[in-house]
């Protein structure tokens, strides 16, 4: 049984729903402030954590360490460049069968999963004549 959401959790849930994109806690805090919904940053983090635990919000941690929050709509899959930070979403999913097997064998309810590959994008890969990554302005 889910516990009843607090007003803060409801505000954040509805804001995430209206934005329909992944956003950091700091950006959520700023967006709430712009809308004259004054919540402290610690309250934003607590509400996001509670929404995550109830299975309504998913979090994706970037290679920079920044966390992005969004409503659970679908699984997320990305190729992320460790040099420039570019993140490319892709739709193929090689783990759906594994997810089903884990739910059955462990009695574990999976809300969502993320799959992230880290490496160098085509712009940052070194060319054959140079072993260092290309710079973005090259």
Q: Reduced to 3 states, what is the DSSP secondary structure of residue 116? A: strand
Residues 6 or more apart whose CB falls under 8 angstroms from that of 45 comprise: 25
Element containing residue 74 per DSSP (H, E): none
Residue 8 predicted with pLDDT over 50? yes
Question: Residue 130 has which token pair?
Answer: 């140079």
Give the confidence band of 1 by pLDDT, cuts at 50, 70, 90.
very low
As a whole number, the mean pLDDT across the chain is: 84
* Domains present along the chain, CATH in parentheses: 1-73 (1.10.10.10), 74-138 (3.30.1490.190)
Residues 6 or more apart whose CB falls under 8 angstroms from that of 18 comprise: none
- Give me the helix-helix angle, 41-54 and 7-19, nearest 10°: 80
Parallel, antiparallel, or unpaired for β 67-71 and 57-61? antiparallel
Give the confidence band of 93 by pLDDT, cuts at 50, 70, 90.
confident
């Amino acid at each position: 049984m889910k516990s009843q959401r607090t007003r803060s959790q409801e505000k954040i849930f509805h804001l995430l729903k209206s934005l329909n994109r992944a956003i950091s806690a700091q950006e959520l805090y700023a967006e709430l402030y712009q809308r004259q919904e004054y919540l402290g940053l610690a309250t934003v983090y607590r509400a996001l954590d509670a929404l995550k635990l109830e299975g309504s919000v998913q979090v994706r941690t970037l290679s920079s360490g920044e966390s992005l929050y969004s409503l659970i709509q679908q699984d997320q899959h990305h190729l992320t460049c460790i040099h420039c930070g570019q993140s490319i979403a892709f739709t193929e999913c090689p783990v759906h069968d594994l997810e089903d097997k884990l739910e059955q064998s462990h009695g574990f309810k999976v809300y969502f999963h993320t799959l992230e590959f880290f490496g160098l994008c085509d712009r940052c890969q070194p060319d054959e004549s140079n072993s260092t990554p290309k710079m973005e302005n090259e």
